[in-house]
Every structure is written in C-alpha cells, then in structure tokens.
A = this chain, B = another copy of it.
Amino acid sequence: MPHNHDALLNHIKADMPSDELLQDLGDLFKVFGDTTRIKIMYALYEDEMCVCAIADLLKMTQSAISHQLKVLKAANLVASRREGKTIYYRLADEHVKSIIGQGYEHITE
C-alpha cells in the first residue's frame, strides 16, 4: 500500500497561509520575473526617472516601457509624480530593494 502521511499533512495545512494570499504572493513575484521590469527597478534604485529616460537607457520603445510601468504600479512596486509633461517614476518602498537584494545574493553566492 502507498505510504500514509495524514498526520504530517494536517500539521502543515494548519500553518499554510490561505490560497488567496499564496496566489497574491505568486502574482507579486511574477512581476519580478521579467528582465525588462528588473532592469526598470534597477534603474530606479537610486533615483526617480522619467519614462523616456528609461526607454533610452534600456533601448526599448516608450510603449513597451509604459506597459511595464503599469504592471509595476499595479503591484505597488513603483509610484509616480507628474511635473509638466513629464512623469517621474520611483521605487515605491524598501521591499523592492530587499527582494532584489536577496535574489542577487542567492545568484551570486
């Protein structure tokens, strides 16, 4: 007969966050899981930048950057402010840096 692990499972289940939260967690990391967005976040590491500067930096279309900034903003990873025609984006909080920092450590160790 297949081996049984009901006792273990009941214990683990009790400590697992809700499915909804786990889904949200996955969705959050999905946002980090794209090179373009990682580059954008790195570009904003030290200071805010306008959309066209980011596009220049990454040698990508303004449209492509704008789409990705929307994704980042929806995940509360960046924030923006308007100054005339220009819109400046910046990292939203310190979690962005610490998440990227931990990932960096994992890779380079």
A contact residues vs B (CB 8 Å cutoff)? 2-3, 5, 8-9, 12-13, 15-17, 21-35, 37-39, 42-43, 45-46, 49-50, 52-53, 56-57, 76, 86, 93, 95, 98-100, 102-108
Contact = CB atoms under 8 A, between A and B. Distances in A.
A29 B21 CA distance: 18
A108 B105 CA distance: 24
Nearest to A8: B53
Contacts of A103: 25, 28-29, 95, 99
Given A9-B56, A26-B32, A53-B9, A15 B106 contact: no
A30 B28 contact: no
Oligomeric state, in number of copies? 2
Count chain B CB atoms within 10 A of each CB in A21, A52, A76, A99 and give the residue with the most: A99
A25 B99 contact: no
Given A43-B12, A102-B102, A103-B28, A35 B22 contact: yes
A10 B30 CA distance: 29
Contacts of A46: 12, 15
